[in-house]
Structure 1
């Protein structure tokens, strides 16, 4: 019995080393994915960290080298000292853009929202801040939004039948309506003008994560009142209309759930139901799209009336795919933004131990990464690798 216990303890101690060695000996595979991220506040690159994690864990490389999550992307580059530089396509000629498209197997636009003055100041010049809610106020844009050149690049990738993955906010504010309309026509997908997010507590005295502009826009149109104290979902329109659905008052279940049918769950290795507690956008597609998963809102009669006021559906796409002449995915949520440990990507089969990395709280996002985003993206990238091999 003692020998068995010692063997078990040794296995537990050696397991991380074994998993790391298994990752080390895994054969690298060439798959060149262009990453565009305009919302990088620090070198931690949280806004595309989940994507980088999957790429590294799967041992995908580009130009015969491992991806560097802090360098191998286009967009906004902070130096963590209050300075930054920008690397994008704006000075590319048509020939340069075409050559760029030829050199990549796919493109993933992770976050186009951008960087704004308030969050930059509070991060790097906090001595100038006297109101702790300053970061939640809207402010001048430093960098952000999709440009014509970035749309042109996607068109080239489409023409060359390359993999395209876009997600939440790619054509919402601050992207111009002109670019948005062109994008929608190009990819046959439409943004309804609404985004939403779950908050585990809508009490403004308790939850400082609720943006000041959201509170101000709501109270301005409701006689200065903010009556919410429980959890719920806030919806924001492109015209700054705010709708709040609160637990019990409007919602039977306070948090949005993503549902995946049996066939898609099997193909992408996804759960048939999982909570999603972060930002999402409400998109519409035509019947030629494959709806991989859908959001479901569990509303009561009062909630139904409020949704009808904003013409917001109770069920809407969470992840979609169009594969007819080109391979296009749209994730209708801020999927690539997830507070996970990048170091864990260097351990093969680490997903077996994933329950150790998240709690049972409703607003935690790590379980979404492990159960939904990682297997979904892993399947997509592996299929693309097999197609291009």
Structure 2
């Protein structure tokens, strides 16, 4: 009886002490200064959902904006800044002079364009239907953004961008400049998996998507389960239903050997959120991973008729040493995770407790198994490179 009581005391003591110990290890972990200019034009409140995965990594890994200050998720970014009582401030690079853009490119070690989709009246005003399209308040990549990116590239700084940075509402002129600068191309298509396409049950399906599909397909909506919706920039809609068009309803990401070895990524993982269909110049870039859409013959025919590939890049990486560039072909940084968990060292080891991989719609596993190891490795390697470069400069100056 005494041994049983002792066991439970030790067991419950460990449960209580483990989080405290994990927090103390995080607290006393060394800080690493890495100045990252984060661009987020789709911030509706102060929780930073559109860039939460990046903020999580910066906090967990103790990357700092100065020698002592950690990044503040609510303030340390450029873009749309929501205030109380329906007020907001526009603090994007659009307000920068050429000299200020030059200065920013000089002091920044890296930049991450996490989201430029922007903010619209239907999102900012709760009285307007959220799933209807409306007038833009702010958003899209700007000429000032491009000037900054050009200077960052010239300085060989790390540049990361992702889904929708060059999609709507970015102008075709700015998009073309970005594509030429980095050797990537948006096909005009975006896509997303929906667990339930029954319009009477799933109210998260955008009304504009339903309306356009009905208008373009004889006023018929033959979907009752899950599937993948494809949206073109000209408002063309195509849908592959899981019942007749897909052998696997959820897009899969296949990581090639380089990505598995370099970034410790899984060979396959599902991805159930927004993505853009991109191509790239393979003489200067290569794909770390690629999406795979598993179709039936009927589904393959629909894709072929609309020039939509069933395999296309998921992560594009510049493969030469003249500059550093990654493009994530999906809304990778927006994941349903909690920022507070980033204060506990070792938490990735128990991350499988936080999600159910059997659920096709869950997205937490993508963060823990794919996004976190990849972005952490990118930032770790870049920090070490900068630190080594600065150390060599210091040695030369002291000689």
- TM-score per shorter chain, which class? over 0.9
1:80 Cα deviation (Å)? Answer: 4.6
Specify the alignment match of 2:49 in structure 1.
46
Question: Is 1:84–2:82 an aligned residue pair?
Answer: no
Deviations 1:66-86 (A, max 9, x none): 100100000001125321111
TM-score, normalization: structure 2? Answer: 0.93
C-alpha contact (below 8 Å) 2:41/2:92 kept by paired residues: no
Deviations 1:140-197 (A, max 9, x none): 0000000000011011000000000000001000000000011111111000000000
Does the Cα contact within 8 Å between 1:42 and 1:80 map onto a contact in 2? no
The corresponding residue for 1:125 is none
Matched, 1:346 2:350: no
Check the 8 A contact 1:168/1:333 in 2, yes or no: yes
Distance (Å, rounded) in 2 between the aligned partners of 1:186 and 1:85: 30
What residue is the counterpart of 1:246 in the other structure? 241
Q: Partner residue of 2:395?
A: none
1:333-378: CA deviation from partner (whole Å, max 9, x where unpaired): 0001112110000011111111122234211111111111111100
Question: Could you say which residue in structure 1 is the equivalent of 2:359?
Answer: 361
Residue 113 (structure 2) aligns with = 109
CA distance in 2, matches of 1:180, 1:286: 15
Does structure 1 residue 297 correspond to structure 2 residue 293?
A: yes
Contact 2:258-2:288 within 8 A present in 1 as well: no
**Alpha-carbon deviations, 1:271-298, whole Å to 9, x = none?**
1111100000000011131211110110
Q: In the alignment, which residue of structure 1 is the partner of 2:394?
A: none
Aligned residues: 380
Q: Which residue in the other structure is 1:33 paired with?
A: 36
The runs of at least 4 aligned residues of structure 1 exceeding 6 Å deviation read none
- Residue 257 of structure 1 corresponds to 252
- Taking the aligned partners of 1:4 and 1:223, their CA distance within structure 2 comes to 68
Q: 2:214·2:220 contact (CA, 8 Å) conserved in 1?
A: yes
1:172-251 equivalent positions in 2, closer than 5 A: 172-251=167-246
Aligned pair 1:73/2:77, yes or no? yes
Q: Which residue of 2 aligns with 1:164?
A: 159
Partners of 1:275 and 1:89 in 2: how far apart? Answer: 35
TM-score after normalising by structure 1: 0.96
State the distance in 2 between where 1:180 and 1:261 align: 28
Query: Does residue 96 of structure 1 match 2:100?
Result: yes
* Secondary structure of 1:298 counterpart: coil
Query: Aligned to 1:388, which of 383, 386, 389?
Result: 386
Q: Aligned partners of 1:116 and 1:364: how far apart in 2?
A: 27
Deviation at 1:93, TM superposition (A): 2.2
SS of equivalent to 2:130? helix
Within 1, Cα distance between the matches of 2:309 and 2:93? 37
User: RMSD of the TM alignment (CA)?
Assistant: 1.1
SS at match of 2:223: coil
Residue 390 of structure 2 corresponds to: none
> What are the Cα deviations for residues 21-68 of structure 1, in whole angstroms up to 9, with x where unaligned?
110010000001110000011111100011100000000001221100
Shift of 1:12: 2.0
Give the Å deviation of 1:101.
0.4
Q: Which runs of 5+ in 2 are unaligned?
A: 388-399
After superposition, residues 113-128 of structure 1 pair within 5 angstroms as 113-122=117-126, 128=127
Distance 1:55 1:303, change over 3 A: same
1:279 is aligned to: 274
For 1:113 and 1:43, how far apart are their aligned partners in 2?
A: 17
Separation of aligned partners in 2, 1:103 and 1:263 = 32
2: CA distance, partners of 1:145 / 1:77: 15
Instruction: Write the distance in 2 (CA, Å) between the matches of 1:58 and 1:254.
Output: 35
- Report how far residue 18 of structure 1 moved: 0.7
1:328 aligned partner: 325
Partner of 1:149 in structure 2? 144
1:140 to 135, 160, 176: 135
Given that residues 43 and 80 in structure 1 are in contact (C-alpha distance below 8 angstroms), is that contact kept between their aligned partners in structure 2? no
Judge conservation of contact 2:194–2:228 (CA < 8 Å) in 1: yes
1:291 and 1:101 mapped to 2: Cα distance?
27
- Rounded Cα–Cα distance in structure 2 between residues aligned with 1:295 and 1:80: 40
**1:262 to partner: Cα distance:** 3.0
